Amino acid sequence: MGFVNFQGFLDFFQVIFMVVFVVALAYGTTWVIGKKSKGFMGGKNAKVLQQISLNMNFHITVIQVQQKVYIIGKTNKSIELLDTIPLDTWKENEAMMLNQEQENRKETPLERFFKIQNPLKGEEREKGDGN
């Protein structure tokens, strides 16, 4: 009546252990391959700065190689160099675009709510008073 099939429990735990071991081994192998391929694929001198898909068949990719930025157009059948610019020019234009985006940014509803709730502090902040 109180007899427990001990061999059945051992078989069950052995199967569970093997499944966990195989999953852990697969995860570890994938992790190692990912770490190794990141260095292989990325390179130290090349870096993708931006990718833009204009449609399903045409993409523009901006790549930095050392101190130059290459703008490349890609289709399913070809790759074409569109332009090459110095890295300094790219960084200046990027900073200018960020500043324009911040200036043209619309006020969020939450920011508008706080201005309505406390208009005096909003005016002081705009003047640069800081108090």
For 29-72, the pLDDT digits (tens) are 998 888 777 655 556 678 888 888 888 889 999 999 988 999 99
* Burial group, residue 69, by CB count within 10 angstroms (0-12, 13-18, 19+): buried
Query: Residue 74 has what pLDDT?
Result: 92
pTM metric for this prediction: 0.47
pLDDT at residue 94 tops 90: no
Residue 126 vs residue 28, higher pLDDT = 28
pLDDT of residue 4: 63
H or E element, residue 4: none
Report percent pLDDT > 90 for the chain: 25
Please report, as a single letter, which amino acid is at residue 118.
Answer: N
Give me the residue spans of the domains in the chain: 9-41
- Span 19-33, mean pLDDT? 93
Average pLDDT, the chain: 79
